[in-house]
Amino acid sequence: MIIVLKPTATKEEMNHIVDMIQKAGLKTNVSIGDHQTIVGVIGDKTKLSDMPIASLASVESIVQVSKPYKIASRDFHPDDTIVDVKGRKIGGGNLAIVAGPCSVESEAQMMTITKAVKESGANFLRAGAFKPRTSPYAFQGMGEEGLKLLKKAGREFDLPVVTEVMDTATIDLICEYADVLQIGTRNAQNFALLKEAGKRNLPVVLKRGMSQTIEEWLMSAEYIMSEGNKNVILCERGIRTFETATRNTFDIIAVPVIKEKSHLPIIVDPSHAAGKWQYVVPMALAGIVAGADGIMIEVHHEPEKAISDGAQSLKPKKFTEMMKEIVKIASVIGVGENLKIAA
Amino acid sequence: MIIVLKPTATKEEMNHIVDMIQKAGLKTNVSIGDHQTIVGVIGDKTKLSDMPIASLASVESIVQVSKPYKIASRDFHPDDTIVDVKGRKIGGGNLAIVAGPCSVESEAQMMTITKAVKESGANFLRAGAFKPRTSPYAFQGMGEEGLKLLKKAGREFDLPVVTEVMDTATIDLICEYADVLQIGTRNAQNFALLKEAGKRNLPVVLKRGMSQTIEEWLMSAEYIMSEGNKNVILCERGIRTFETATRNTFDIIAVPVIKEKSHLPIIVDPSHAAGKWQYVVPMALAGIVAGADGIMIEVHHEPEKAISDGAQSLKPKKFTEMMKEIVKIASVIGVGENLKIAA
Amino acid sequence: MIIVLKPTATKEEMNHIVDMIQKAGLKTNVSIGDHQTIVGVIGDKTKLSDMPIASLASVESIVQVSKPYKIASRDFHPDDTIVDVKGRKIGGGNLAIVAGPCSVESEAQMMTITKAVKESGANFLRAGAFKPRTSPYAFQGMGEEGLKLLKKAGREFDLPVVTEVMDTATIDLICEYADVLQIGTRNAQNFALLKEAGKRNLPVVLKRGMSQTIEEWLMSAEYIMSEGNKNVILCERGIRTFETATRNTFDIIAVPVIKEKSHLPIIVDPSHAAGKWQYVVPMALAGIVAGADGIMIEVHHEPEKAISDGAQSLKPKKFTEMMKEIVKIASVIGVGENLKIAA
Amino acid sequence: MIIVLKPTATKEEMNHIVDMIQKAGLKTNVSIGDHQTIVGVIGDKTKLSDMPIASLASVESIVQVSKPYKIASRDFHPDDTIVDVKGRKIGGGNLAIVAGPCSVESEAQMMTITKAVKESGANFLRAGAFKPRTSPYAFQGMGEEGLKLLKKAGREFDLPVVTEVMDTATIDLICEYADVLQIGTRNAQNFALLKEAGKRNLPVVLKRGMSQTIEEWLMSAEYIMSEGNKNVILCERGIRTFETATRNTFDIIAVPVIKEKSHLPIIVDPSHAAGKWQYVVPMALAGIVAGADGIMIEVHHEPEKAISDGAQSLKPKKFTEMMKEIVKIASVIGVGENLKIAA
pLDDT tens-place string over residues C126-156: 999 999 999 998 889 999 999 999 999 999 9
Considering only CB atoms, D65 lies closest to which of B4, B29, B44, namely B4
Query: Rounded to 5 degrees, what angle do the CA atoms B110, B111, B116 make?
Result: 100
Q: Is C253 on the interface with A (CB under 8 A)?
A: no
Chains that touch C (3 or more CB pairs under 8 A): A, B, D
pLDDT surpasses 80 at A96: yes
pLDDT surpasses 70 at A47: no
Tell me what the mean pLDDT of segment D138-167 comes to.
Answer: 97
Nearest CA in chain C to A66: C36
Tell me what the mean pLDDT of segment D260-284 comes to.
Answer: 97
CATH architecture observed for domain D83-333 = Alpha-Beta Barrel (3.20)
Inter-chain CB pairs, C–D, below 8 Å? 141
Mean pLDDT for chain D?
Answer: 92
C-alpha B270/C-alpha B296 separation (Å) is 7
Mean pLDDT for chain B?
Answer: 92
Q: How confident is the model at residue B343 (pLDDT cuts 50, 70, 90)?
A: low
Query: How far, rounded to the nearest angstrom, does the alpha carbon of residue A304 sit from its chain's CA centroid?
Result: 29
Q: Which of B252-261, C43-52, C261-270, D216-225 has the lowest mean pLDDT?
A: C43-52
**Chain A residues with beta carbon closer than 8 angstroms to that of C244:** 244
Note the pLDDT of residue D33. Answer: 75
Considering only CB atoms, C241 lies closest to which of A33, A40, A242, namely A242
Q: How far is B191 from chain A (nearest CA, A)?
A: 7
Note the pLDDT of residue C48. Answer: 64
C-alpha C241/C-alpha C105 separation (Å) is 32
Note the pLDDT of residue C30. Answer: 85
Nearest CA in chain C to D313: C55
Residue scoring higher pLDDT (D3 or A94): A94
Q: What is the DSSP string of C257-282?
A: HHHHHB-S-EEE-HHHHH-SGGGHHH
Note the pLDDT of residue A149. Answer: 98
Q: Which of A2, A45, A15, D102 is nearest to C1 (CA)?
A: A2
Cβ atoms of C147 and C128 closer than 8 Å: no
pLDDT surpasses 70 at C47: no
C-alpha C50/C-alpha A58 separation (Å) is 30
Nearest CA in chain A to B131: A191
Tell me what the mean pLDDT of segment B86-111 comes to.
Answer: 97
Q: Is A314 on the interface with D (CB under 8 A)?
A: no
**Chain A residues with beta carbon closer than 8 angstroms to that of D249:** 239, 241, 249, 251, 253
C-alpha A267/C-alpha C64 separation (Å) is 34
Q: For B154-186, what is each residue's pLDDT tens digit?
A: 999 999 999 999 999 999 999 999 999 999 999
Q: Which residues pair with A39 in a beta bridge?
A: A3, A30
Residue C329 CA: distances (Å) to CA of B288, B331, C287, C340, D67: 12, 10, 11, 14, 45
**Chain D residues with beta carbon closer than 8 angstroms to that of C137:** 46, 49, 68, 226
Q: Is C258 left (phi over 0), alpha (psi -120 to 50) or beta?
A: alpha
Cβ atoms of A229 and A221 closer than 8 Å: no
Q: How confident is the model at residue D5 (pLDDT cuts 50, 70, 90)?
A: confident
Domain ranges of chain A: 2-63, 83-333
Amino acid at D296: M
Note the pLDDT of residue D113. Answer: 98
- What count of residues does chain D have? 343
Q: Which of A30, A38, A119, A54 is nearest to A301 (CA)?
A: A119
Within 10 A of B234 (CB to CB), how many other CB atoms are there? 26
* Residue D42 to residue B31, Cβ atoms within 8 A: yes
**Chain A residues with beta carbon closer than 8 angstroms to that of B309:** 52
Cβ atoms of A96 and A90 closer than 8 Å: yes
Q: How confident is the model at residue C275 (pLDDT cuts 50, 70, 90)?
A: very high
Q: Is A334 on the interface with D (CB under 8 A)?
A: no
C-alpha B2/C-alpha B4 separation (Å) is 6
Q: Which of A115-124, A182-191, B77-86, D298-307 has the lowest mean pLDDT?
A: D298-307
* Residue A38 to residue C40, Cβ atoms within 8 A: yes
Strand spans (E) along A196-231: 204-207
**Chain D residues with beta carbon closer than 8 angstroms to that of C245:** none
Tell me what the mean pLDDT of segment B78-87 comes to.
Answer: 96
Q: Of chain D residues 70-129, which have a CB less than 8 A from chain C?
A: none
**Chain C residues with beta carbon closer than 8 angstroms to that of D197:** none
3-state secondary structure of B248: coil
Q: How far is A337 from chain C (nearest CA, A)?
A: 32
Cβ atoms of A191 and A223 closer than 8 Å: yes
Chains that touch D (3 or more CB pairs under 8 A): A, B, C
Tell me what the mean pLDDT of segment A212-220 comes to.
Answer: 98
Q: How confident is the model at residue D200 (pLDDT cuts 50, 70, 90)?
A: very high
Note the pLDDT of residue B310. Answer: 79
pLDDT surpasses 80 at A48: no
Note the pLDDT of residue B48. Answer: 65
Considering only CB atoms, C36 lies closest to which of A44, A65, A240, namely A65
Q: For D49-59, what is each residue's pLDDT tens digit?
A: 556 677 777 88
Interstrand relation of A161-164 and A124-126 (parallel, antiparallel or unpaired) = parallel
**Chain C residues with beta carbon closer than 8 angstroms to that of D192:** 166-167, 169-170
pLDDT surpasses 90 at D8: no
pLDDT surpasses 90 at C54: no
**Chain B residues with beta carbon closer than 8 angstroms to that of C286:** 252, 286-287, 289-290
Q: How far is D221 from chain A (nearest CA, A)?
A: 17
Note the pLDDT of residue A44. Answer: 65
Q: Which of A79-93, A129-143, A228-242, C227-241 has the lowest mean pLDDT?
A: A129-143
pLDDT surpasses 90 at B260: yes
Note the pLDDT of residue B303. Answer: 86
**Chain B residues with beta carbon closer than 8 angstroms to that of C241:** 239, 241, 249, 251
Within 10 A of B284 (CB to CB), how many other CB atoms are there? 31
Mutate to test the interface with D, among A216, A247, A252, A280 (most CBs of D within 10 A): A252
Note the pLDDT of residue C35. Answer: 74
Note the pLDDT of residue B39. Answer: 85
Nearest CA in chain B to D29: B31
Nearest CA in chain A to D274: A253
Q: Which helix (H) or strand (E) holds D283?
A: helix D280-289
Note the pLDDT of residue A3. Answer: 86
Amino acid at D130: F
Q: Which residues pair with B235 in a beta bridge?
A: B207, B267
Q: Which residues pair with C180 in a beta bridge?
A: C162
C-alpha C251/C-alpha C249 separation (Å) is 6
Within 10 A of C265 (CB to CB), how many other CB atoms are there? 28
Q: For C203-220, what is each residue's pLDDT tens digit?
A: 999 999 999 999 999 999
Q: Is A26 on the interface with C (CB under 8 A)?
A: no
Q: Please state, for a pLDDT cut of 90, what percent of chain A lies above it.
A: 74
pLDDT surpasses 70 at D48: no
3-state secondary structure of D98: strand
Note the pLDDT of residue D49. Answer: 58
Q: Convert B111-141 to b/e letters by CB count within 10 Å (16 or more is b).
A: ebbbebbbbbbbbbbbbbbbbbbbbbbbebb
**Chain D residues with beta carbon closer than 8 angstroms to that of B28:** none
Q: Which of A294-298, C10-14, C30-34, C310-314 has the lowest mean pLDDT?
A: C30-34
C-alpha D254/C-alpha D215 separation (Å) is 10
Note the pLDDT of residue D241. Answer: 98
Mutate to test the interface with B, among A46, A69, A137, A206 (most CBs of B within 10 A): A137
C-alpha D264/C-alpha D259 separation (Å) is 8
* Residue B55 to residue A304, Cβ atoms within 8 A: yes
Note the pLDDT of residue B68. Answer: 87
pLDDT surpasses 80 at D66: no
C-alpha D217/C-alpha D69 separation (Å) is 10
Amino acid at C95: L
ipTM of the complex as predicted: 0.92
Tell me what the mean pLDDT of segment C66-79 comes to.
Answer: 89
Check if CATH label 3.30.70.1140 holds for domain B2-63.
Answer: yes
pLDDT surpasses 80 at A309: no
Q: How confident is the model at residue A83 (pLDDT cuts 50, 70, 90)?
A: very high
Mutate to test the interface with A, among C26, C31, C46, C62 (most CBs of A within 10 A): C31
Nearest CA in chain C to B279: C256
A170 DSSP assignment: G
Inter-chain CB pairs, A–D, below 8 Å? 115
**Chain C residues with beta carbon closer than 8 angstroms to that of B254:** 243, 245
Residue scoring higher pLDDT (C334 or A8): C334
Tell me what the mean pLDDT of segment A126-141 comes to.
Answer: 93
Considering only CB atoms, B286 lies closest to which of C214, C257, C286, namely C286
Q: Which of D246, D178, D180, D176 is nearest to D210 (CA)?
A: D246
